[in-house]
Structure 1
Amino acid sequence: MPPNTKQKLIVLIGPTAVGKTKTSIHLAQTFNAEIISGDSMQIYKGMDIGTAKITQAEMEGIPHHLIDIKNPQESFSSAEFQQIVREKISDIHSRGKIPMIVGGTGLYIQSVIFDYQFTDAPGDAEYRSFLEEKVEETGIAPLFEQLQSIDPEAAKNIHPNNTRRVIRALEIFHVTGKTMTGYKERQSDELLYDLALIGLSMDREKLYDRINMRVDLMIENGLIEEVDSLYRSGVHDVQSIQAIGYKEIYEYLDGKISLDRAIEKLKQNSRRYAKRQLTWFRNKMEVRWFDMSDKTYHQKIIEEISEFIAGKLQLKSNK
């Protein structure tokens, strides 16, 4: 496909708490864009505080997509994300707007912008049946432990109770001799869009301070009550509550740890996640990075980002 026929797409990535929300609104206003959430947990209804979900007021009238599209009991995969987002990109273009993905879930974003195939790994129905029988006999735990030893990276991204995905990952390894992670890494690196890929970074200590303050604010704003509501409504052992901000409070509600320890773990897990996000983005994608460490220069940096996007995609600014 010749480059000039590709649809234009802005992607704004960066670790949690780096300042993506405010920056994205400014960019959306500048380029007449609509925002697609690239966060794997903001899809869930009723999970607002712990996912730092954008509020109606913060949206400033900019249309947002892929927020509140699933109930917490439902699972969601990168393959499903890929399909929905590609449809949204075409829909936004059809209305004369520019689509902009904003978020921090690296695999999800990667699956959209590259020619990423989820279904072309060969299968083995007999081996799959054998694994399904094992689950009937012993439960999923032994198979999940097997996956952790074979492909720890895939195991991080699969809920221990998601039988279908655990079996699929083991099946791919059995048939191809390659882990699911390795198989995905061999995917095509051809970009499907005329892309401006921007990353926001920050001095690590400043970012960690922001994360700690954000967690304190979440507690103040009612995170415990939000999680307790899910807990009491019977949302247990599902993908959504494995999210940082929920699994730690569930441990507290289960009586396994104190509230202070749960909050301490939440901060620690959020900092570790931010570090993993940055590592993923730097290793997997060609990103133009902008440093948000100095607050006094934020407006200037946003202007620089706007200039980069305008030049890269040949877009006119509204400002």
Structure 2
Amino acid sequence: MATQLPVINLMGPTASGKTALACELYARGNYELISVDSALVYQDMDIGTAKPTKEEQQLYPHHLIDIITPLEVYSAAEFVTDATALIDQIHARGKTPILVGGTMLYFKALLEGLSDHLPSADIHVRADIEQQAAEQGWESVYAELQRVDPQAAIKFKPSDKQRIIRALEVYRLTGEPITQLQAKQVKNQPYSYAFQNYALLPDRAELHARIELRLQKMWKIGFLNEVEFLMEKYDLNDNLPAARSVGYRQALDFLQKSDRSLKNKAVMEEKSLFATRQLAKRQYTWLRSLQQTHQFNVYLSIEQAQEDLRNLYG
């Protein structure tokens, strides 16, 4: 039996310090970095995604950053295809890939596989569902999900808008409930890789403080100017998946639907902070779910992770 080659997965919620840790490892050994982030794939979306600067990318090159425009869609299935191709290329160069990011769906798809039966996202179908919600209310959309896929309706809360949209999108595209298609999903892909999973899970209070500092920096270095540029260059609007990224959605609402007063700006900043904390909460939940079926090393502080990973890989 051939030796399984190592793949290092470094996961964590937003602002946990995982990217800095991955860059430190990169500088110490024979590694290449692969981004696992559904927002970093977009060109020109830099400040709001906390994307490594051009200078940082020169020092610590990342694959799968800036690969599409904000007008395009990038799915978990496409990520798995791209990431596995890169992993094989990196191994062929005699190096070890480090996958780093916070998009847990991508990690789950890589570790467990995705159903070949699920269709890619369709912007037009999603727009129709969102128009239905705007005209008839989300209760109407959720009621439709209850009719066509009762199992999904039990799994999702009425507030899980993105999941509801995806479930209805799949049904409208295939005529089959997403839960039935997912039941056919292939698990535990027979990769020739030895996945080494690490999770950075700092204390919630510490993470919230780091998130607040990150957002304060975003406002200072011109995040709103970036969003205005995206609106002009790409006609960025809230129907595009890129615009649903945390921070961008709130900034778009402020720039398009308010008088841009200081009062409304403060409200927007508070909404962005709340949404980012909610994102971190969802990432914690995803990680705990993955830990139930995959072996992990979990670190409660950056310092703890640095010490351990230096010993393992440094």
Q: What is the TM-score when the length of structure 1 is the normalising length?
A: 0.78
Letter aligned with residue 301 of structure 2: M
1:57 Cα deviation after fit: 2.8
Q: Does 1:255 align with 2:257?
A: yes
Q: 1:7 is aligned with what amino acid?
A: L
Q: Is the 8 A contact 1:9 1:99 kept in 2?
A: yes
Q: Hey, what's the Cα distance between the residues in 2 that align with 1:18 and 1:191?
A: 31
Question: Is the aligned partner of 1:277 residue 2:276?
Answer: no
Instruction: Work out the CA distance in 2 between the residues paired with 1:65 and 1:263.
Output: 31
Q: 1:147 to 1:225 in 2, by over 3 A?
A: farther
1:116-131 matches, cutoff 5 A? 116-120=113-117
Report the Cα distance in structure 1 between the residues aligned to 2:180 and 2:205, rounded to whole angstroms.
35
> Which of the numbers 238, 241, 245 marks the counterpart of 1:243?
245
Shift of 1:188: 1.2
TM-aligned CA deviation for residue 283 of structure 1: 1.2
SS at match of 1:217: helix
The count of residues paired between Structure 1 and Structure 2 equals 284
Kept in 1: contact 2:118–2:170 (CA 8 A): no
The answer on whether the counterparts of 1:169 and 1:179 sit within 8 Å (CA) in structure 2 is no
Could you tell me whether the CA contact under 8 Å between 2:171 and 2:178 is conserved in 1? no
1:128-183 CA deviation, whole Å, 9 max, x = no partner?
A: xxxx8xx69x96647854348726379654695x8xx74324567x6468366x63
Runs of 5+ unmatched residues, structure 1: 123-131, 311-316
CA shift, 1:242, in A, is 0.3
Aligned to 1:126: none
Report % sequence identity. Answer: 30
Cα distance, 1:252 vs structure 2: 0.3
Q: Alpha carbon RMSD of aligned pairs, Å?
A: 3.1
Q: Please show how residues 110-121 of structure 1 align to structure 2 within 5 Å.
A: 110-114=108-112, 116-120=113-117
> Residues 82, 229 of structure 1: CA spacing in aligned structure 2 closer, same or farther, 3 A cutoff?
same
Cα distance change, pair 14–259 in 1 and its aligned pair in 2 (3 A)? same
Q: Does 1:305 align with 2:309?
A: yes
Gaps of 5+ in 2: 120-124, 147-151
Residue in 2 that maps onto 1:128: none
SS at match of 2:68: coil
Equivalent-residue separation in structure 1 for 2:141 and 2:311 (angstroms): 47
TM-score by length of 2: 0.80
Could you tell me whether the CA contact under 8 Å between 2:171 and 2:177 is conserved in 1? Answer: no
Instruction: For 2:58 and 2:219, locate their aligned partners in 1 and report how far apart those are by CA, in whole Å.
Output: 25
8 Å CA contact 1:113, 1:191 repeated in 2: no
Q: Does 1:152 align with 2:173?
A: no
**Matched AA of 2:226:** E
Distance in 1 of aligned mates of 2:5 and 2:161: 33
